[in-house]
Structure 1
């Protein structure tokens, strides 16, 4: 038998483990208030316009009913109470959704109380109908209403109504039906709802939600290498690099496709030592430009611009031109250095020196990055922190408000916590995207300490089961702190699904990414179905990371082979439907075919700004090689429908219209249109 545990104990000479009870839980216990990150250690996240579900578990002994409300304080200090409704039966969970519009720090508490009116109303109804304690229940009710009528915080009109209702409950000569009707009087119920008859109140501790600008959570990203836009090959085999001026010519086309963020890989000088050649070879040619991520050379480091691209003035002009067409420029922040970086000679302590006297280059066994030295953040933490902060603020001063951070999981978490907090303290609109393809705990840890967005495992989630699990978790389990950016491809990632799925695979992945989450992105060349991989690697052959890659966009458009019109349509649908600009509102439905994914995105009319619900149904054929036909089965209650009822759907891709109900036949041809994106209209 186990021994009893004393109130405090010691193990050898260890620090005593105190078992002293925590502070009082309160008369009405309130547990697990959400949204919350690690019990309130870091603020929960939201973006302006996001609909945030608040919740808490609350209960009391016995059968008396309780009420629960959210006390929500906006950044200006105004507090508003929102009544919370019971969640799933038997869970004692209470919930309410609130749309947070104002940027800044919001604070909330949950208040639970004995709901004296609801308890009396329930007991009185049961007993009076059963003929038990009839006059006693009317007397208890009358006293309750009379006491509420003395509350001077209630409007005079409500107080008069309460007095009159109490008088009727006391009137033993009144018609029984009239007295009983007090329990159902809509005005009395409204009075009790506006200001509950509360007793024995308890309040939770305070939690914080940080609301950031909309772009922190909503956006369509497009990535291109400015050196490729306008690049020309000369007769002697050398290249004339594209520049910011030539790359600016591509901006209107990117904006016309509906993208609103343009992400640039590093634009800094590139090292010569151990420069990589085409396809990541170790034997570069005379004219090979090298990887932009091998940062630093004779022309400078992280605060410099590659001379081939232009000057600082040219970059500022490029950012301004992008803004004119509706694009924000996101800049790569890659904290690493080529062997030629000024840091190597000026601050050797910022790197790791091996026993043989050499500096350690970057590795991800079996991958080797001989052209890159990783930064050591422990030898001189204050020095490297000051330098990185200086660099970030330099680019902020030139108009950059978004940074895509390369491999943040290879740097200390406490460094990022400090940097992001320091930057956002003075520039709260600056957004950091974590390119963190790493273990779940580390990926999520980066989001918890402040990254506004994150790359995710979406790229490798291709089956129906995988997608439902991944997208469901992103909308629920991690939504309080992690905002997924669903990039469909990158210069490093060309999945087997895209390699062998052809045009259909490219349409399917883009459609799911663009509709399942409020932020998604593509890397240039996606619209041209660039799907040939380097042997033995999960990336494009002749990777743009190591060579110039000018593309003939006009020829593809003229030939009708470009996916540009499809990407444009997806972004148009996103802008027209606010339900697609929310993260937490996805619901999965059923199909009889394990290759048919079905989900809906619904936004209640309270939050759309149009006075009407916004609902979209996405039905995707995940098999890019076949025609699939099956039945799909819908739970209409998640988008305001009635089981068994009919509703109208319009396919926003083809324009086709149908009348649907709970179960519906679908036929999706991978070789024409593999995805239905259906706008739902519930019939009156």
Structure 2
């Protein structure tokens, strides 16, 4: 006979006849234990005493505590879906706070969001009901302090609003007229006793109560006493209310501006100033020569300069040009094969210079108002010092060898991936030390290579640990992988995320993806729209020519607050390695100096266009927001249109800001269509006519709800329009 045992009950056996009557076809004993025929017993986990089977000891339970207040306040936003970590925002972001607020019956209710800034300053903003049927209330607030904000939604019964609603129906219909006037009078008398209504309010309210009770005056006159003039104004400013209910508190983590908005430029310091000699050998560029490139990057309007790893590169299995398996004596190797006899992740490649040279490079960038973002790749070459000093950091195979990095059928023989499970505490301590070394050297932004190949819990711990000591440090997740992992990395703390933008090219794809990023994941995931990388050159760019490069840059720069380009984009480098989505002669495996001066002289560079895009971004605060994108209908599948609007109260200029983007997605042919705008999306009436100016070409037109456009890829394939005669200006 078989007995089902409770694995949590220790040596005490339990039978479960109600849950499982048969096991392997043999009936389970109903009331007798398998051994000795004794009555089955259970053990109370709280006391250790035994009770006869079928009679469970009484369990102590906590007193029931209600969750809801008098008025339900549910479905709060912003918050992360699991509410395990705070929602995120950045300084200057306009955040929509919303909640579902409702009450039984037909009473009028009202709501407000109450925020407490890190400094202790309390903000209270009225909310508006945007969907009465669903009880959805919202208010937009611009957060201006970094740190942890707390917020809640307050709701209350609007007694005066409820009376006005009911009386406005009954009194004209002659139903309960005197009763309704008496109810109103009592509300006014109650309000007269409330503090904080001003010196003249009590007398005014009592006089109005008396007027409502004056049966010698016709009902219409008495009604006008409280619906017009001073009484109506006083009660609109401070309604008579009751049942004040405070909703649950939530936290919003507000980080510095660059965590959510900025323009990035990637380049390889070793290529800037690199010289090839007649014998085929190279002299590497250095931090000193790379610093000479910084002024041109600043002139293009970028905020962040991102550089690949600058550590020593191993020689064992070093990759050659175009990812070949054999490197020649003059091949520098991939900067992601980190570690050699010259050191590991805390060391600087001697070809690039010294620590003092790196510090000078960071300082040169700072003088130009640029920040340096450093690539950190937590992996090692076979020559890394960790292979000897910390073999437990790696995975050892059955034959005794260390496992290479693989993405079958691909193998990366120059890289050993780390195993964070062999020695979790030891590996964490070493990784934390590495980040601190570079923080101490002045780096405040890290681009993390392949974070999705490391445990999510590791990143949660490390990012929160680093940010607790250095709140200004920013982590960018370079993860092109499954959505759950990409979202998970953002949830646990990564301030920015690479995205699928490089592969979203059609109107439908772009619209769907931008709606997702600006609405579904906006509370925790901040997209960085890199148009290309040193590893990615999509077919759209390979075959679209200059127009494709303009289109992709314009959309990236105007649709999200953070975007970036990899060096060479301005030169329209579009020759791919056969059978791949990457540039031929990939800079990851070789030096690639560029003749910037010659391109400028010949006018073959897009640097002026990129500078124009970044200039538009800086002068139009609407483009610095993520959540405010609104798509408009066009009659062509090849033309996309969207607007970004920011109300005057949030721009800092006293005027509203509206940008309308219309882009031809076909880089090979002109497209014409009618754009059907919804002017209410940017604060105008449906039939308004307004002036728009193209910020690229300078052309000016009169636009309205329906507008003809023709976009030629051999001219300007994208309209970036500002609404000039804004009603708030």
Give the alignment's TM-score, normalised by structure 1.
0.96
Are 2:552 and 1:506 equivalent residues in the alignment?
no
Residue 202 of structure 1 deviates from its aligned partner by 2.3
Equivalent pair of 1:40/1:207 in contact (CA under 8 Å): no
* Equivalent residue, structure 1, for 2:134: 91
Equivalent pair of 1:227/1:242 in contact (CA under 8 Å): yes
Q: How many residues align?
A: 675
Higher relative CO (CA 8 A, sep ≥ 6), structure 1 or 2? 1
Instruction: Tell me the secondary structure at the aligned position of residue 87 of structure 1.
Output: strand
Are 2:285 and 1:242 equivalent residues in the alignment?
yes
Aligned with residue 578 of structure 1, among 600, 618, 621: 621
Residue 659 of structure 1 deviates from its aligned partner by 0.5
Counterpart CA distance in 2 for 1:654 and 1:675 is: 10
Rate the CA distance shift 1:332–1:90 in 2: closer, same or farther, 3 A: same
Deviations 1:317-359 (A, max 9, x none): 0000001011000001110000100111000000000111111
Pairwise mapping of residues 230-629 of structure 1 onto structure 2 (< 5 A)? Answer: 230-629=273-672
Pairwise mapping of residues 201-240 of structure 1 onto structure 2 (< 5 A)? Answer: 201-240=244-283
Residue 21 of structure 1 deviates from its aligned partner by 7.9
Residue 628 of structure 1 deviates from its aligned partner by 0.5
- Note the aligned Cα RMSD (angstroms): 1.9
* Equivalent residue, structure 2, for 1:52: 95
Residue 176 of structure 1 deviates from its aligned partner by 4.0
Counterpart CA distance in 2 for 1:189 and 1:450 is: 49
Deviations 1:416-472 (A, max 9, x none): 000010010011010000001111111001001000000011111000000000111
Counterpart CA distance in 2 for 1:262 and 1:410 is: 25
Residue 192 of structure 1 deviates from its aligned partner by 3.7
Give unmatched runs, 5+ long, in structure 2: 1-16, 21-41, 46-55
Counterpart CA distance in 2 for 1:533 and 1:424 is: 40
Give unmatched runs, 5+ long, in structure 1: 1-8
Counterpart CA distance in 2 for 1:97 and 1:452 is: 22
Rate the CA distance shift 1:179–1:198 in 2: closer, same or farther, 3 A: same
Give the alignment's TM-score, normalised by structure 2.
0.90
Residue 173 of structure 1 deviates from its aligned partner by 3.2
* Equivalent residue, structure 2, for 1:4: none
Rate the CA distance shift 1:175–1:517 in 2: closer, same or farther, 3 A: same
Bigger radius of gyration = 2
Counterpart CA distance in 1 for 2:627 and 2:328 is: 50
Q: Identify which range, 602-611 or 131-140, moves more after superposition.
A: 131-140
Counterpart CA distance in 2 for 1:189 and 1:528 is: 66
Residue 285 of structure 1 deviates from its aligned partner by 1.0
Residue 190 of structure 1 deviates from its aligned partner by 4.6
Rate the CA distance shift 1:195–1:592 in 2: closer, same or farther, 3 A: same
Are 2:157 and 1:114 equivalent residues in the alignment?
yes
Residue 571 of structure 1 deviates from its aligned partner by 0.2
Counterpart CA distance in 2 for 1:166 and 1:39 is: 51
Rate the CA distance shift 1:138–1:658 in 2: closer, same or farther, 3 A: same
Counterpart CA distance in 2 for 1:126 and 1:256 is: 66
Residue 369 of structure 1 deviates from its aligned partner by 1.0
Instruction: Tell me the secondary structure at the aligned position of residue 97 of structure 1.
Output: strand
Rate the CA distance shift 1:300–1:115 in 2: closer, same or farther, 3 A: same
* Equivalent residue, structure 2, for 1:5: none
Aligned with residue 179 of structure 2, among 136, 148, 165: 136
Residue 191 of structure 1 deviates from its aligned partner by 3.6
Counterpart CA distance in 2 for 1:188 and 1:616 is: 42
Equivalent pair of 1:508/1:675 in contact (CA under 8 Å): yes
Rate the CA distance shift 1:428–1:160 in 2: closer, same or farther, 3 A: farther
Residue 138 of structure 1 deviates from its aligned partner by 1.6
Equivalent pair of 1:268/1:301 in contact (CA under 8 Å): yes
Rate the CA distance shift 1:470–1:156 in 2: closer, same or farther, 3 A: same
Counterpart CA distance in 2 for 1:528 and 1:220 is: 18
Counterpart CA distance in 2 for 1:286 and 1:511 is: 42
